[in-house]
Chains A and B, each alone.
Chain A
Amino acid sequence: ELKVEQNPLFLSMQEGKNYTIYCNYSTTSDRLYWYRQDPGKSLESLFVLLSNGAVKQEGRLMASLDTKARLSTLHITAAVHDLSATYFCAVEPGSARQLTFGSGTQLTVLP
């Protein structure tokens, strides 16, 4: 059974600081996704990582994938309040198309 673990589960950080969210998974996969969810809203796709070594950046967020270590990171640079949300990683195992999600990281950026 595929397990996806995120840490930390809760993250409170000051504006302007940097931090990294980690996503570990338990079985071989080359497909990993990051989503953002605002309170009461649905999931917004942030990044799609499809190969070992993939790195994608959008604004203050950068995601990377190491399939050998079964690890993805979401790095936040110079956080701003607008980044406050819950961030989920999700893994697509093998040939199956359904996603297995991590527990989410609730990020709060303080002024």
Chain B
Amino acid sequence: GAGVSQSPSNKVTEKGKDVELRCDPISGHTALYWYRQSLGQGLEFLIYFQGNSAPDKSGLPSDRFSAERTGGSVSTLTIQRTQQEDSAVYLCASSLVGSAEQYFGPGTRLTVT
């Protein structure tokens, strides 16, 4: 079956611009996660959605970062006024309720010039 998909696969943007990254989780998965992978910081948790509960935003690095999940499915991660340190691969993962295993998408490589 279809896995987690993300778009775009690559995004180059100028410093100060806003970007939106999209994640389509596996159908039926109610939990959705965003992580960031960068050379300096490794793999970091950003935000977690579970069903209709309030999201866990504890990993968002600044108020320039926000995310929403519409209809319990697709999620969008928005970065406002991008900075060069935002350059990273942004990974989305999803899982079933109560399941331990998270399935990762292919990631979006963001480059801020």
Contact = CB atoms under 8 A, between A and B. Distances in A.
B42 A97 contact: no
B33 A48 contact: no
A97 B31 contact: yes
A101 interface: yes
Interface residues of B, number: 23
Interface residues of A, number: 22
Interface in B62-113: 91, 93, 95, 100-107
Given A48-B101, A92-B100, A43 B91 contact: yes
Nearest to B31: A97
A73 B58 CA distance: 29
Nearest to B102: A99
Q: Is the interface of A mostly helix, strand, loop or mixed?
A: loop
Q: Is the interface of B mostly helix, strand, loop or mixed?
A: strand
A42 B105 contact: yes
Nearest to A31: B100
A68 interface: no
A88 interface: yes
Contacts of B101: 33, 45, 48
A42 B33 CA distance: 14
A99 B100 contact: no
A50 B100 contact: yes
